[in-house]
Amino acid sequence: MQTHHKPTLFNEGKLKERASEHKLQPFKLKQIFHEMYKNQNTDWDSMTTLSKDLKAQLQNDFDLLAIELIEMVEAPDTTKFAFKTRDGNIIEAILMYHWQNEKYVKNNQPKLNRITLCISSQVGCAMKCIFCVTGKLGFKKDLTREEIISQILFANSYIKKRFWKKEDGSNRSVRNVVFMGMGEPLLNYENMRKSLEIMLQQDRLSLWRRHITISTCGIIPGIKKLIEDKVDVKLAISLHAPNQELRNQIMPIGKAFPLEELMTTIDEYVKATDNRIFYEYIMIKNMTDKPELAHQLVKLLKGRLAHLNLIPYNENPAIDLEESERKTIMKFKEIIENWGITVTVRDSMGREAKGACGQLGYEKVAQDKKE
């Protein structure tokens, strides 16, 4: 039997229906949206610009969010949230804090440059990449637009409570969103696209296009849909291998979407958007870190508008793989740099909270392994 949930307060269609039924003035709707998006409030008591009667009316008809916090792990540079959806599924999101330089402080407070939120688009994942814990959970369901946006609204509320205001007196908030959490966003295309509309809307979350990144395993039809719909945000490709044979071994989805066809489709996306593509490459000891693979990467990316991110593998007991040694990673990087390709070794933010790349769902997989 399917359970029917209340709509969320930021479901504008339903809110406008109720507003019409209760003859609410347009300025009341603006107050509601201002409380959620600008004042960053996700509890009724904090919404002080709304009257007691209006809040009671809204509380009867709407939920504030489509998720609830069940666990939080705080570390110096990250906060990991575990949320339960209203149908009982668990998803995770990670806040990442980018400090200018920990040596410099002002008024005994370190300078916080920006805050990035890594969000989930699905419960679990069907991609089954060999290095990723989330893939071991299997695919459960697509997240709705409300469940995606709820992650950002909750994070903004948390930031408001935890951090000091900016120098101009305004609240700090998430300024970068990356679809790099649980799931493959291009396999939940419509809900992802609808959530982007709210993120980009000036009087809603008001994010810049260049501050939103969609990370994909290379779902070719999804990339073509981005081109067709003129979705102009950053695109990150989980590449992880420079040839078809190794990519098939690491990422089973590679068999469905051949590397040559994927690169041609990416070229079409670049032509349509003029956006630099971020290529993600996992550094696994004795598997992806060999010098000959660096030379193959050069051949693949040379002449393309590309930025290569080398990601040290994040070890965990659930998967029998090892992180590349630091000196091996730096040698790999040097080979690629020598050919004029922009390459970065990405910091593994979130390791302490088990929230780094490939680690989401860690506790669930570890528990299942024990049982």
CB 367 within 8 A of CB 354: no
Say yes or no to pLDDT of 272 above 50: yes
pLDDT band at 350 (very low <50, low <70, confident <90, very high): low
> Among 191, 259, 199, which residue's Cα sits nearest to residue 232?
199
Say yes or no to pLDDT of 102 above 70: no
% of the chain exceeding 70 in pLDDT? 90
* Helix (DSSP H) and strand (DSSP E) numbers for the chain: 11, 14
Residues facing 62 on adjacent strands: none
CATH number of 67-370: 3.20.20.70
- The confidence score (pLDDT) of residue 204 equals 94
Which residues are within 8 A (CB) of 127 and not within 5 positions of it... i.e. 6 or more apart?
Answer: 135, 184, 217, 251, 252, 253
Question: What is the residue-averaged pLDDT of the chain?
Answer: 90
Read off the tokens for 79: 């906060």
Please identify which of the residues 92, 146, 184, 323 carries the catalytic annotation.
Answer: 92
- The confidence score (pLDDT) of residue 358 equals 45
- The confidence score (pLDDT) of residue 190 equals 98
Which residues are within 8 A (CB) of 12 and not within 5 positions of it... i.e. 6 or more apart?
Answer: none
Please identify which of the residues 125, 129, 132, 357 carries the catalytic annotation.
Answer: 357
**Running DSSP on this structure, what letter comes out for residue 315?**
-
Positions of CATH 3.20.20.70 in the chain = 67-370
pTM score, whole prediction: 0.92
pLDDT (mean) for 154-165: 92
**92 catalytically annotated:** yes
- The confidence score (pLDDT) of residue 354 equals 54
